[in-house]
Amino acid sequence: MRLIAPLAIALCLVAALHEAGDTPELDLVIRNGRVVDGAGNPAAYQDVGIQDGRIAAVGRVTERGRREIDARGRIVAPGFIDVHTHAENVTSRPAAENFVRMGVTSIVLGNCGSSELDVAAFFRKVEETKVALNVATLFGHNTARRAAMGGSFNRAPTEEELDRMRQHVDQAMRDGAVGLSTGLIYLPGTFARTEEIVELAKAAAAHDGIYASHMRNEGAGIDAALNELFRVAREARIRAHVSHIKLGGKPAWGRAPAVLAALEAARAEGLDVTQDQYVYTASSTGLGNLVPASAREGGAARFRERLENPDEKARIIAQMKETLRRGGRESYDYAVIASYRADRSLNGKTIPEAAKAKRGADTLDDQIELILEIEQSGGGSGIYHGMDETDLQTFLRHPNTMIASDSGVRARDEGVPHPRGYGNNARVLGRYVRELKVLRLEDAVRRMTSLPAGVFGLRDRGLLRPGAWADVAVFDPEKVEDAATFSDPHHYARGVTHVLVNGVPVVDGGEQTAARPGMALRRR
Ligand SMILES: [Zn+2]
C-alpha cells in the first residue's frame, strides 16, 4: 500500500498534465511571420517549429514551444550562406558578429586560392574553439603551390611538385573541403598555367568538389579569363564558379551583358557555371597587388634587391604606369588605404593623400614610391573604387548570382575596411530589393540560401523545410539596411532581429547572444 499510493498519484499527475496540454512540445516556435522559404516561393504567413536543432514543422504549428518568438511584421527566412569569405580568422574572433548581425549563419572560407593547408586540423580547431556560425572551406591552390614548391616562383612545377599539389588537394577533399579555389592575380597562383589548374581541379572533381576562381582578369581582359575558367570546367569535368563577379576599370564598363552572355553560352554547352557578387562598386585586396607580381616573386628580400637595382626599379615603375594606363587611369586616386599596420595614420587616405602626407607631394612618381614603401614595410590592404553601378545591377539580376561578402571577421574599429563585411546582405535587402526593386525579396533570399547551399553542397541547409537544420534569419523588410559606409564602416546591419544557428539564437532581439552553436561543415 505504501508503495502503490505514490505511484498512483504520480500517474494521475502525468495524466492531468497531458490533458491540460501544458507540456512544451517543441524547443522553439516562430509565429506570425511571413516565411520566405529560400526556394524562391512567394512569402506566406506560416509558423516555424524547431526541435533538436532542426526544423520540425512549417505551416500552422499547434504545438507549443518552450520558447516562442513573435515575428509579426517580419520575414522569416533561412539563415544566409556566404560562399565567398576570407574568415580564416573565425577561430580568433569566434562571435563573427559582422556576419551574424546581417543574418549570415554559414560561411565558406578558403577563397581566392588561400586556405589552411591542413583542413582536418582547421576543422578540429573550429570545433574546439566553438564559433557562432557554421564553417565550410575550400582548399586554396596558392596554399598548395607554396607548400609543394617551397615559395612563390615564376615557373611551372616539376612533375613531382605537381604530384605533391595533387596530393594536397586530394587530402583536403578527404578532410571535408567543398572544393578548390584559385586566386590567379595573387602570388604564387598567378604563375600557374591553365594545365596545372586543370590537373588540380580533376583531383577536386574526383570528390565532387567545386572549382571557385578569382579569375586572372576582372577588367578589360575578362574574356580570356572566363575562357580559362570554362576550360577548367570542361577538361576537369567540374562545377565552376566565378568569385566576386565584377568589371573593374572604365575601359571594361558596360560589358556586363556580354559577360553574362558568355556564362549563358557556357551553360548551354553543358558546363555548370555560377557566380557570386558583393553589391558595392569598390573592391578590396592587398595594396601589394598594385606592384607587379614578377617584382614580388621569391619573397621580401628579393623584392628589396630588385628595388635597389636602378634598372630593375625603373622597369617596375614603368610597368605600374602601364597597368594604370590600361585601366584608363592617370593616378591612384581610386585607391584608399584600408589598413596599414606600419603607419595607421594613413588608414582611410587615398594614395595621393597619403603620398602628400608622407612625402610632401602627390605626383604619380610620389604615389608609386609610397606604394613600394608600403610593400617593403609589411604591406597593407586597400579599397579600389573602380566599378560601374549599371554593371553591378546587371550582374545582380542574373538568377545564378549568389550574394557573398568577400570579407573576413571584422574587429570593431580596426582600420577602415570595406563596408561589405558589415553590410552586404542587408544592403541587398534594403537598397536593391526595397528601394530600387532590382530583385524580388524571395529571389534575393534564394540567392543567399538554397542557391549557394545547392551549388556548394551544404546539405540540409538553405531551405525552411522539415528536416533541415534550423538556421534562420528574422528581419523587418521595411527596416533592414546596411549601416556601414566606406568612410565609417564599423557599424552592424540594422533590422535583423533574430538569427538562429542550428536552432540556437545567436542574435536575439537585435543583439548578439553568447551562444556559439556553429558546426564544422565537412563535405560528405
Ligand atoms: Zn578574390
What separation in Å is there between the alpha carbon of 242 and the centre of ligand 1?
10
Same domain, 379 and 390: no
Instruction: Give the residue from 340, 366, 383 where a domain finishes.
Output: 383
Residue 17 lies in a domain: no
The Cα 375–Cα 288 span in angstroms is 6
Distance 398 CA to ligand 1 centre (A): 20
Cα 46 from Cα 39, distance rounded (Å) = 15
- Secondary structure (DSSP) of 3-17: THHHHHHHHHHHHHH
Domain assignment of residue 34, yes or no:
no
84 in a structural domain:
yes
Please return the burial class of 511, using the count of CB atoms within 10 Å of its CB with bins 0-12, 13-18 and 19+: exposed
462 and 371 together in one domain: no
Nearest to 48 by CA among 36, 61, 65, 66: 61
**Based on the domain organization, do 304 and 373 belong to the same domain?**
yes
* pLDDT recorded at residue 23: 62
- Give distance in angstroms: CA of 202 to centre of ligand 1: 22
Residues 178 and 205 both lie in one domain: yes
Provide the number of structural domains found in the chain: 2
Distance (angstroms) between ligand 1 centre and the Cα of 406 equals: 7
Same-domain pairing of 311 and 446 = no
**311 and 270 part of one domain:** no
Q: Residue 243 Cα, ligand 1 centroid: separation in angstroms?
A: 7
Distance 71 CA to ligand 1 centre (A): 37
Provide the angle, in degrees to the nearest 10, between the axes of the packed helices 364-376 and 300-308.
140
Q: How far is the CA of 382 from the centre of ligand 1 (A)?
A: 13
Cell numbers for 132: 557562432
Please give the C-alpha separations between residue 93 and each of 96, 99, 188, 412, in angstroms, as whole numbers. 6, 11, 28, 11
Q: Quote the ligand 1 centre to 290 CA distance (angstroms).
A: 14
Which domain, by its residues, includes 290? 286-383
Q: Which domain CATH number covers 133?
A: 3.20.20.140
Q: Is residue 491 part of a domain?
A: yes
Q: Residues 378, 270: one domain?
A: no
Q: How many angstroms is it from 391 CA to the middle of ligand 1?
A: 18
Dist. CA 313 → ligand 1 center (Å): 28
The number of beta carbons lying within 10 Å of the beta carbon of residue 413 is 8
To the nearest 10°, report the CA torsion of 202, 113, 189, 159: -40
Pair type for strands 472-475 and 496-501? antiparallel
Q: Name the H helices within 21-158.
A: 97-100, 119-129, 141-149
* Cα distance between residue 468 and residue 231, in whole Å: 35
Shared domain for 116 and 220, answered yes or no, is yes
* Per-residue pLDDT at 225: 98
User: Is 55 within the bounds of a domain?
Assistant: no
Q: Same domain, yes or no, for 103 and 221?
A: yes
Written as one string, the DSSP assignment of 350-368 is: BHHHHHHHHHS--SHHHHH
Domain end position, chosen among 332, 361, 383: 383
Backbone angles phi, psi at 369, to 5 degrees: -60, -40
Which residues, 6 or more positions from 419, have their beta carbon under 8 angstroms from its beta carbon? 280, 482, 484, 485, 486, 489
CA of 447 to the centre of ligand 1 (A): 19
pLDDT of residue 21: 52
Whether residues 212 and 328 share a domain: the answer is no
Give distance in angstroms: CA of 340 to centre of ligand 1: 19
Please report where in the chains the cell 557556357 appears, as a residue. 266
Query: What distances in angstroms separate CA 22 from CA 18, 52, 122, 370, 401, one per listed residue?
Result: 7, 19, 45, 70, 47
Q: How far is the CA of 132 from the centre of ligand 1 (A)?
A: 24
pTM of the model: 0.94
Quick one: 210 and 135 in the same domain? yes
Among the candidates 383, 413, 437, a domain finishes at 383
For position 308, what pLDDT does the model report?
A: 97
CA of 159 to the centre of ligand 1 (A): 28
The C-alpha atoms of residue 314 and residue 299 are separated, in whole angstroms, by 19
| Alpha-carbon distance values, 467 to 27, 58, 316, 459 (Å) | 14, 10, 58, 11
Q: If you measure from the C-alpha of residue 378 to the centroid of ligand 1, how many angstroms do you get, rounded to a whole number?
A: 20
The bridge status of strand 504-508 relative to strand 511-512 is antiparallel
Identify whether 366 is part of a domain.
yes
The predicted structure's pLDDT at residue 214: 98
Q: Containing H/E element for 474?
A: strand 472-475
User: Is 40 domain-assigned?
Assistant: no
User: Is the omega angle on the peptide bond into residue 452 within 30 degrees of 0, that is, cis?
Assistant: no
Q: Measure 116 CA to ligand 1 centroid, in angstroms.
A: 16
pLDDT at site 512: 97
Asked if residue 73 is part of any domain, the answer here is no
Co-location of 249 and 333 in the same domain: no
> From first to last of its 524 residues, what are the pLDDT tens digits of the chain?
344 454 444 444 444 444 445 667 999 999 999 999 999 999 999 999 999 999 999 999 999 999 999 999 999 999 999 999 999 999 999 999 999 999 999 999 999 999 999 999 999 999 999 999 999 999 999 999 999 999 878 999 999 999 999 999 999 999 999 999 999 999 999 999 999 999 999 999 999 999 999 999 999 999 999 999 999 999 999 999 999 999 999 999 999 999 999 999 999 999 999 999 999 999 999 999 999 999 999 889 999 999 999 999 999 999 999 999 999 999 999 999 999 999 999 999 999 999 999 999 999 999 999 999 999 999 999 999 999 999 999 999 999 999 999 999 999 989 999 999 999 999 999 999 999 999 999 999 999 999 999 999 999 999 999 999 999 999 999 999 999 999 999 999 999 999 999 999 999 999 999 999 999 999 98
Which pLDDT score, from 0 to 100, does residue 413 have? 81
Report the sign of the C-alpha dihedral through residues 322, 327, 330, 334, in that order: negative
Q: Cell numbers at residue 256, please?
A: 556586363
Q: State the distance from the centre of ligand 1 to the C-alpha of 208, rounded, in angstroms.
A: 22
| Helix/strand/coil (H/E/C) assignment for every residue in 409-437 | CCCCCCCCCCCHHHHHHHHHHHHHHHHCC
Q: Please state whether beta strands 65-70 and 26-35 pair in parallel, antiparallel, or not at all (unpaired).
A: parallel
